[in-house]
Amino acid sequence: MRKLSGIFLVGLCLGAIGAVVVTARHSSAAAPQPIAVTEFVTPTSGTPTPASTPSPAPKTKSEPSATPAPAAKAEPVKVTAAALDKIVRDGEVSAVVFDRERGAAITSVRADRAYTSASLVKLLIALSVLEQGGPVADVQRMLSRSDDDLASRFWSAYGGPAIVTRWTTKLGLTGTRPPEDPGRWGDTLITASDIVRIYQYLLDHKSTAILNALRDATERGSDGFRQYFGIPDAAAGQQWAVKQGWSCCRPTRMLHTSGVLGRYIVVVLTEHPAKVDYATGSKRVTEVASTLLGGG
């Protein structure tokens, strides 16, 4: 009985081994080919995760450096009204480039034409708040992020339209007027020549809190709008201090860029039909600024 059991067990083992061999051959013949995967693997969270990328091989000594050379610093040039009108085709444009060292304008195109200010009036609001001992940090935030809520709060608390009339008299502004609707500070009327005078005052009186906020202007305003059009984009790589303005549509679209670039005060005011979207208008303002700075 024990011998039969041993023989039986040996037979079972040999049979199992044969079955495994047969099964392995069958599986190898029928195995599916690998399926190509996409560049990104989507986890259960739904956020794409980049696939791992092999590290690049180190550069050899013969390879050139990938670091681009710094762009040459552009210098302002005299520009005609016709050249700017060609850029802002179906709108209006005014521009002044003032050389502080020479005490004279290099370019002055329709410097006394009036535009609604949008956020440029925040320069006057900031002057009023700081003069009366208001909160410096909030003033700087209003300027650097072009925060409308703070501007409205300050406008109501520090005099409303009287802010404009007072500084118009103090600075000798000739074309600046308060808004017809006392609550709409963005409808204050301004001119390019008056904005130059405001910057001259800020620089002459070393208004550090304001100028630092303009140097720290964020790429996006508090409303999400990209405010690096105009001077910042045209003078990329250079140090600037800017205040931008944008508004629509009563009934037109306004896009303004203004600020200090080295020894120069640069102001570009533009008005566009409402059909010209912000992206197109912003590009045009940047092209105007680039042309004024000798890069066009």
Where do the structural domains in the chain lie, given as residue ranges? 81-292
Which of the two residues, 2 and 114, has the higher pLDDT score?
114
Cα distances from 288 to residues 139, 235, 240, 295, in angstroms, run 29, 12, 17, 10
In terms of Cα–Cα distance, which of 288, 292, 296, 240 is closest to 92? 288
Mean residue pLDDT across the chain:
82
Show the tokens assigned to 122: 């925040």
In terms of Cα–Cα distance, which of 154, 265, 262, 245 is closest to 201? 265
> Which pLDDT band holds residue 287 (cuts at 50, 70, 90)?
very high
Residue 243 · residue 271 · CB < 8 Å: no
Q: Distance between CA 244 and CA 227 in Å, rounded?
A: 6
Q: What are phi and psi of 99, to 5 degrees?
A: -90, 110
pTM of the shown model: 0.76
**pLDDT exceeds 60 at position 93:** yes
**pLDDT exceeds 70 at position 46:** no
Bridge-based pairing state of the strands 264-272 and 92-99? antiparallel
Residue 199 · residue 260 · CB < 8 Å: yes
Mean pLDDT value of segment 189-202: 98
pLDDT at 225: 98
> Which pLDDT band holds residue 41 (cuts at 50, 70, 90)?
very low
Q: Is the dihedral of CA 103, 105, 111, 116 positive or negative?
A: negative
pLDDT at 73: 65
CATH class name, domain 81-292: alpha beta
pLDDT at 47: 31
Q: If you write DSSP's letter for every residue of 47-107 in order, what string do you get?
A: --EEPP-PPPPPPPTTSPP-SPPPPPPP------HHHHHHHSTTSEEEEEEEETTTTEEEE
pLDDT at 148: 98
- Looking up tokens 């600020």, which residue turns up? 259
Show the tokens assigned to 97: 């480039």
| Residues above pLDDT 90, as percent of the chain | 74
pLDDT at 43: 31
Q: Which region holds residue 176: left if phi is over 0, alpha if psi is between -120 and 50, else beta?
A: beta
Q: Distance between CA 129 and CA 159 in Å, rounded?
A: 10
**What amino acid is encoded at 121 in this protein?**
V
pLDDT at 63: 35
Mean pLDDT value of segment 25-41: 34
Other beta carbons within 10 angstroms of residue 138's beta carbon come to 15
pLDDT at 195: 98
